[in-house]
Amino acid sequence: MTQSTTRKPGRLRVLISGGGTGGHIFPALSIDNILKERYGAEILFVGAEDRMEMERVPAAGYEIIGLPVAGFDRKHLWRNISVVMKLCRSILRARRIVRDFKPDIAIGVGGYASGPTLKAAQRAGVPTLLQEQNSYPGVTNKLLGKKAEAICMAYEGGERFFPADKIIITGNPVRKDLLKCHLTPGEARLSFGLDPDRPTVLVTGGSLGALTLNETMEKHITTLIAHGLQVIWQTGKNFGNRGLKAAKGLKGVVVTEFLNDMASAYAAATLVVSRAGAGAISELELLGKPVVLVPSPNVAEDHQTKNARALSDKGAAILVTDDECRHILPGVLVSLARDKQRLESMSKAISAMAHHDSDKLIANEVKRIVTSHNSDIKL
């Protein structure tokens, strides 16, 4: 371990843990940034070894330590022997990290590493805060919530899972660059080499990609183009060059493994097709983007379906299940992209669900918790 154990007098020390996906990492970095900006906080991140946070967090300028923790394999139970051994090692390492770093507060954003880290902090008497992104929390956060000082949530109804007096509705922090794009839809489309006047669909399954979305586009991309749509298609890194092969020779299609300029991609989109991760939904709410949500079936507690229903029940999104996606998604897109009245209605409904300044609200809670426990910290 390389973190400093020499405390600067009165300086806030924050231990933040979680990751695994961009949906956990981006909120964590937003929280880190506001705490550093406001309070000059000294921050240490704890992630899971071999997960994307081990690259993304140092790239953002923060120190990170990895735990060997891994998720349970529900299909092959015998494989969980090694998972339990990794968990035990992670618990011991997390205890050492808490002891050496001496944080004033520990924040969990979800992901494999969050459980051992926050449990170790609670065991050591360090106050903890949970940033629960989903409408339906996982088992780990339900357990951690019993001793947490605050649970910052993005959705109403959290009292079913957590003590009501600990819940603060803050929304989910998002990447600030997404809110700074001032391109018109036409200008954004031109930046991708597309026709500025044609309706454009952004399809994204995140940095790793979503096989169902990718295979649907692979099969039906020609149909979408034939109906006058344009497509910006982020395949993710696990789809190889299949997307490029499917779109070869077609005009009005941009295929890329990773979108470096997500802000412009959102600006170009008439509507979006996305998984229903909490982070993506929060971005879409703030941007007021009409969206077709295809929840991943491969997540704990089926929380993406619950996330999607929270929007579709209010007319803020269309929910297409993973099973029916390959069959009905193209027709939904062709119909919706030309229905200006419905697009406008969806935009208004999803915008009304947005929570602004989530990072600042969470920073306020951090200040309240820390100053109530440590009078030497002046924030």
- Measured in whole angstroms, the distance separating CA 192 from the mean position of its chain's CA atoms is 25
pLDDT (0 to 100) of residue 197: 97
Claim to verify: residue 168 and residue 43 sit in the same structural domain: yes
366 inside domain: yes
Residues 168 and 181 in one domain: no
pLDDT for the residue 190: 97
Q: Is residue 236 part of a domain?
A: yes
Q: Which two tokens stand for residue 83?
A: 């998972």
- Shared domain for 245 and 307, answered yes or no, is yes
What does residue 128 show for φ and ψ, rounded to 5 degrees?
-125, 150
- The whole domain housing 258 covers 177-351
Domain annotation covers residue 289 = yes
The per-residue pLDDT for 76 is 62
Whether 29 and 97 share a structural domain? yes
User: Token pair of 255, please?
Assistant: 């295929």
Domain presence at residue 3? no
Q: CB-based burial of residue 15 (10 Å sphere; 0-12 exposed, 13-18 middle, 19+ buried)?
A: buried
The pLDDT, as a whole number, for residue 279 is 86
pLDDT in the model for residue 7: 55
Q: Do 184 and 150 reside in the same domain of the chain?
A: no
Same domain, 363 and 278: no
Per-residue pLDDT of the chain (379 residues; tens, 9 = 90+): 445 455 566 789 999 998 877 678 888 999 999 999 999 999 999 998 888 888 889 998 999 999 987 766 666 666 777 778 888 898 999 999 999 999 999 999 988 899 999 999 999 999 999 999 887 888 888 899 999 999 999 888 889 999 999 999 999 998 888 888 899 999 999 999 999 999 999 999 876 678 999 999 999 999 999 999 999 999 988 898 999 999 999 999 999 998 889 999 999 999 999 999 888 999 999 999 999 999 998 876 788 998 899 999 999 999 999 999 999 999 999 999 989 999 999 999 999 999 999 999 999 999 999 999 987 777 8
Q: Please name the residue that has the structure tokens 């330590």.
A: 65
- The pTM for the full model equals 0.83
pLDDT tens for 234-274 read 998 889 899 999 999 999 999 999 888 999 999 999 999 99
| Residues 49, 70 contacting (CB under 8 angstroms) | no
Q: What per-residue confidence (pLDDT) applies to 70?
A: 73
281 occurs within a structural domain = yes
**193 in the same domain as 66:** no
Q: What is the CATH number of the domain that holds 99?
A: 3.40.50.2000
- HSE-CB at 330 with a 13 A cutoff on CA atoms is 17
DSSP E strands: which ranges in the chain?
13-17, 42-48, 63-67, 105-108, 128-132, 150-153, 167-169, 200-204, 230-234, 253-256, 271-274, 291-293, 318-319
pLDDT reported for residue 2: 47
> How many domains, the chain?
2
b/e for 308-341, b at 16 or more Cβ within 10 A?
bbbbbeeebbbbbebeebbeebbebbbebbeeee
**One domain for residues 315 and 362:** no
Same domain, 107 and 201: no
Q: Are residues 345 and 368 in the same domain?
A: no
